[in-house]
Amino acid sequence: MQGLIVSTAFHESVSESDDSHLVQQSLQGDTQSFRLLYRRHEKRVRTILYQLCDVNVLDDLVQDVFLRAWRGLPKFRQTAKFSTWLYRIAWNVASDYRQAAARGRTQLQELTKQAPMRQESPDVMHLHYQDLVQRGLNQLSADHRTVLVLHDLEEVPQKDIAEILGIPVGTVKSRLFHARAAVRKFLDHEGVQL
Amino acid sequence: MSRFSEDELKLTEFLKRHQPVVPAANPDLEEQLMSAIASTPQPRLTVVSKAPVQRRILWAVPSAIAAGLVAMVVSHRTFAPVSQPSAAEVAELQNFIESTWDDSVAEQSVSEGDLFPVTEDSTLN
């Protein structure tokens, strides 16, 4: 277990130093270095946006995040973690989108409606559980969902989440607690025994 | 690192195992992004040196305080009335002090007599 922690920390540290190097290169105008940054972080950015926004505009929003990052790179403090800074941009893009998309049809309905369309696995139980998890996440508030996704699914440390969302660590803990409790209750209600 | 209880661990594992599949990106997305970046030059940071301004402000504070104190002292000396008693006032003051002193000495001798009256009983003690 300890070895795993050390290994993860080492990997994270190496990854951050690589990010830092790529950021430096990008600041010199090296677009290929920025391409590598994109490849490294695209999946997580996509996951965050997917949980908060309409799937139909996912590609546009991902592009928006990285364009904002490219433009804002000269202002990026080199002492901060690039990933945290980038996820903060993703959060801002998602928030902007949600505000703009505050119309009759809710995001939750949209995501629920689309959930069955993206199933490809032949395992029926897995499909069923996937649908339940999606619905469980959808019934959370955006704040609670974001914290749960970042922490439990994307394994972002609580301290970093606090920085990304601009809230105290205590608030992250509290939101995580309530989000887990709500999802557990939902799953229990749906007959899932954990 | 957060500590997991067994229940939390089970829930988290379940969520991870069955987390919704995020739809794959359009294969052209990366190239679209790169061409958008190519046509979006990075704004150069114009380094505005704030240090001299801050230093000037820092120097201004104690200077203002010192100047204020000097102005206060000078104005006080200039405008405050200098009280030089006249000869008559000095004489009046002297008379007052002398009369007050005489009265107080006289009162004291009387009061001492009241306090320690010489009686036959006292001589016996």
Is some CB atom of chain B closer than 8 A to the CB atom of A157? yes
Q: Measuring CA to CA, which residue among A188, A56, A87, A152 is closest to residue B26?
A: A56
pLDDT of B67 reads 84
Of B17, B40, B44, the CB nearest to A67: B40
Question: CA-based angle A84:A87:A4, to the nearest 5?
Answer: 55
State the complex-level ipTM: 0.72
Asked whether the predicted pLDDT for residue A21 surpasses 50, the reply is yes
The residue whose two tokens read 């006032």 is: B89
Give the mean pLDDT of chain A: 84
Residue B87 has pLDDT above 50, yes or no: yes
Answer whether 0.80 is exceeded by the pTM: no
Residue of A nearest to B22 (CA): A47
Local confidence band at A39 (pLDDT 50, 70, 90 cut-offs):
very high
Q: What are phi and psi of A74, to 5 degrees?
A: -60, -25
* Domains observed in chain A: 1-102 (1.10.1740.10), 105-194 (1.10.10.10)
Looking at every residue in chain B, the average pLDDT score rounds to 74
Would you tell me the crossing angle of helices A82-100 and A58-72 to the nearest 10 degrees? 130
Give the separation between CA A168 and CA A187, rounded to whole angstroms: 29
More confident residue, A81 or B44: A81
Q: Residue B33: pLDDT band by 50, 70, 90 thresholds? A: very high
For residue B42, the chain A residue with the least C-alpha distance is A71
Query: What are the C-alpha distances in Å from B43 to residues A26, A86, A127, A182, A194?
Result: 12, 18, 47, 45, 52
Choice between B105 and B6, residue whose per-residue pLDDT is larger: B6
Nearest CA in chain B to A49: B22
pLDDT band at A67 (very low <50, low <70, confident <90, very high): very high
Query: At residue B120, does pLDDT exceed 80?
Result: no
**Å from B48 to nearest chain A CA?**
13
| Nearest C-alpha neighbor of A180 from the set A140, A132, A127, A126 | A140
The answer to whether B30 contacts chain A (CB < 8 Å) is yes
Residue of higher predicted confidence among A121 and B39 = B39
Q: What is the 3-state secondary structure (H, E, C) of B34-60?
A: HHHHHCCCCCCCCCCCCHHHHHHHHHH
What mean pLDDT do residues B75-99 have? Answer: 77
Question: Inter-chain contact A133–B25, Cβ cutoff 8 Å?
Answer: no
Whether B16 has its CB under 8 Å from any CB of chain A: the answer is yes
